[in-house]
Amino acid sequence: MALITTDMKLSEVILQHYVLMPVIRRFGIHLGFGEKTILKICQENNLDADLMVSILNLYVHPTYTPDLTLSANQLVATVSYLKQTNALIHESQLPNVERHLQALMHYSFAKNKALGLIDNFFTEIKTELQQRIEQDNDERFPSVLALASSVVSPVIHATNQEPSLREQQESLDEKIFDLRSLLMKYLTGEADENLCYAVFFALYTLENDIRQYNNVCQALLTPAVKAMTKQHNAQK
Amino acid sequence: MLKNKHIIVLSTHPLEGRGLQSFLCDEYHPEKVVVHATPQTINDTENSRCDLFFVSADLFVLFYDYFLLRKNKVIIFGTTLWNDSQSVMLPFLNITTNEDSLKAQIDELLSNTFHHENSDGLTSRELEVLTLVAQGLLNKEIADSLNISLHTVISHRKNIAAKLGIKTVAGFTMYAAMNGLITVNG
């Protein structure tokens, strides 16, 4: 599969990789972009085209390593993209899984108590995910933004937190993967199959987005924070 | 079905225990059947070699934790009255019946029990490790509890993860709960 470049038409890229639809949405690009190239659309929306293709490529090519060291402006744009991702997880994807799961519990719990375990496991994942989002919004993003604007920084604090945060995030998408596996492979007994499928796909979308979020942090945000911290310390 | 298998029959009544032992030997020709009046007299070798426990309902209740750990290879026997009063579904043998019915029941229980043990390809040792992981024990604690090395525990965990396609402790715990290896509150 060829890498996505800024001179490609966005419509053709999306037709080929429909999973990119939510990514476009997070950049604030609305539907109806016609036959314009990615570069043109980015110019019109005041977006950084290089950053956008890096994120698009990270989304569709699992082994892709972006050849891009983020500038301060790009770092700010990345944080804004990640915030938007978190907001959508919080406002749309978590409630989506919950809605299907509640319906499944409502119709099938009386006949199949194992569904209670699925429900408990999801509640655990949800709590952890909400805590992570809160931590990102309250601590991680403000410190990255402070660094980007060269304010004397709580940078050391942010850098120290990277590994533990990453571990937590990795375990989150793995937990969702496990929950899906359990639902698919090991749930026996009676349960509404349509609703099981609905929960399964809602979980899949959530897991995929968390994984992509981690990829963006790992491939773009963390290296940029490290490089800027180093630069910042050298200037002192 | 029980060829090459080691069986332990547990009953507080010697005649009941000996009777079941004799019935199993005659009908199924296992490698060995020993009778104990309590799990406390089972030595480590017998315990690790044992493929199946037939335990009387009263002893099961009395040594609940012991048998819960070995739940996947336990068949409880007693009267139907006892079984009806239990909410947990466990392999159960009604012994207040004739020989034909006894044989039919054991046939079915055995096919279910041994099928269960292998349904996801886990060995009984792996099931033991999985149960302890699900109970929240650390690798070192599991090693001590099963008298095996830390390295062996890690290797069992890797195999379990590969066989089940599950990676997280939370996932293991849920698998264990869904398969009756542990009980969860609530």
| ipTM of this complex prediction, to 2 decimal places | 0.72
pLDDT at A45: 92
Domain endpoint, select from B101, B118, B135? B118
Domain endpoint, select from B90, B118, B146? B118
Whether A109 has its CB under 8 Å from any CB of chain B: the answer is no
- Beta strands of chain B (E only): which ranges? 6-10, 32-36, 52-56, 74-78, 92-94
Domain residues for the domain of B11 are 6-118
Say if residue B51 is in the same domain as residue B101: yes
Q: How far apart are CA B58 and CA B55, in angstroms?
A: 8
CB pairs under 8 A between A and B: 45
In a domain, B53, yes or no: yes
In a domain, B1, yes or no: no
Say if residue B104 is in the same domain as residue B19: yes
Q: How far apart are CA A203 and CA A121, in angstroms?
A: 12
Angle at B143 between CA B140 and CA B147, to 5 degrees: 145
Say if residue B110 is in the same domain as residue B134: no
Phi then psi for residue B93, to 5 deg, are -115, 120
Say if residue B142 is in the same domain as residue B55: no
8 Å CB contact of B178 and A177 = no
Chain B residue with CA closest to A114: the answer is: B178
* Cβ–Cβ < 8 Å for B6, B32: yes
CATH no. for residue B157? 1.10.10.10
Say if residue B63 is in the same domain as residue B153: no
**Of B28, B21, B35, B22, whose CA–CA distance to B5 is shortest?**
B28
Residues of A in contact with B163 (CB under 8 A): none
In a domain, B164, yes or no: yes
Whether B165 has its CB under 8 Å from any CB of chain A: the answer is yes
pLDDT at B22: 95
Residues of A in contact with B165 (CB under 8 A): 181, 185
In a domain, B167, yes or no: yes
Over residues B134-186, the pLDDT tens digits come to 988 999 999 999 999 999 999 999 999 999 999 899 899 988 888 777 766 54
Tally of domains in chain B: 2
Say if residue B102 is in the same domain as residue B149: no
Query: What is the nearest CA distance from B166 to chain A, expressed in angstroms?
Result: 5
Q: How far apart are CA B75 and CA B102, in angstroms?
A: 13
In a domain, B98, yes or no: yes
In a domain, B183, yes or no: no
Query: What is the nearest CA distance from A235 to chain B, expressed in angstroms?
Result: 43
**Of A214, A179, A167, A165, whose CA–CA distance to A62 is shortest?**
A214
User: CA torsion, points B41, B46, B50, B53, in degrees to nearest 10?
Assistant: -10
Q: Exposed, middle or buried: residue A119 (CB in 10 Å: 0-12, 13-18, 19+)?
A: middle
Query: What is the nearest CA distance from A167 to chain B, expressed in angstroms?
Result: 12
Q: Exposed, middle or buried: residue A158 (CB in 10 Å: 0-12, 13-18, 19+)?
A: buried
Say if residue B95 is in the same domain as residue B156: no
Residues of A in contact with B178 (CB under 8 A): 114, 117, 182, 186-188
Residues of B in contact with A116 (CB under 8 A): 186
Query: What is the nearest CA distance from B145 to chain A, expressed in angstroms?
Result: 27
Over residues B55-95, the pLDDT tens digits come to 999 998 888 878 876 777 889 998 876 666 665 567 889 89
The low-confidence residues of chain A, meaning pLDDT below 50, are 152-161, 169-170
pLDDT at B83: 63
CATH no. for residue B67? 3.40.50.2300
Which DSSP category does A183 fall into? I
* Cβ–Cβ < 8 Å for B49, B24: no
